[in-house]
Amino acid sequence: MDNVCPVCKSEGVRVENITVKHIVNDELLVNDETYHLCMDENCDVVYFDSKNGAYFDKQQVKVPIWFKKDVNPKYICYCNKVTEGQIIDAVTKQGAKSLKDVVRLTGAMKNGRCEINNPLGKCCSPIILETIKKALDSKLRKL
């Protein structure tokens, strides 16, 4: 399989080359091969080249990767630098219940350039929705 991390052997998610070129530190050479994002939270690898096993780790990228262990800050919306904590606060302290509420309260998803700002190269809305659900579930458990 060509989507397996060369270090941890976890399955990766395909990411467009343009994304990798914008996220990896400028002085590093990104080839034209297909890259994948290692989704293992404990692995230091961020992107790997599925053809020859080359990879970039957490120290070689410009932004913290939200799902990697011990990341700080934990951005959910990279375009507007909105963190998981801000989204959780919008839900638990400001009464947000929907994506629209979170966008209004945090400024997430404005001026979107997800292809070059988000490490996945995709819109952050699914991750925002997961975070809202997590915050609402947590809020309900406290009642």
List the CATH number of the domain containing 134: 1.10.10
pTM for the predicted model, two decimal places? 0.89
Question: What CATH number should be reported for the domain holding residue 51?
Answer: 2.20.25
Please indicate, yes or no, whether residues 80 and 117 belong to a single structural domain of this protein: yes
The answer on 37 and 94 residing in a single domain is no
Tokens of 87: 């989204």
> pLDDT band for position 1 (50/70/90)?
low
The domain tally of the chain equals 2
Asked if residue 67 belongs to a domain, the reply is no
As a whole number of angstroms, the distance between CA 35 and CA 56 comes to 10
SS3 state at 127? helix
Give the span between the Cα atoms of 86 and 115, in whole angstroms: 22
38: containing domain? 12-60
Instruction: Dump pLDDT digits (tens) for 18-52.
Output: 999 999 999 999 988 889 999 999 999 999 997 88
Residues contacting 3, CB < 8 A, separation 6+? 11, 12, 13, 14, 36, 50
- Residue 3: inside a domain: no
Residue 93 within a domain: yes
Same structural domain, 88 and 56: no
Q: Do residue 92 and residue 125 come from a single domain?
A: yes
50 within domain boundaries: yes
Is residue 124 in some structural domain? yes
* Terminal Cα-to-Cα distance of the chain (whole angstroms): 46
Statement to judge: residues 93 and 134 lie in one domain: yes
Identify whether residues 17 and 44 lie together within a single domain: yes
**Do 47 and 16 have their domain in common?**
yes
Q: Verify cis geometry, omega within 30 degrees of 0, for the bond prior to 119.
A: no
pLDDT for the residue 99: 96
Higher pLDDT, 115 or 137: 115
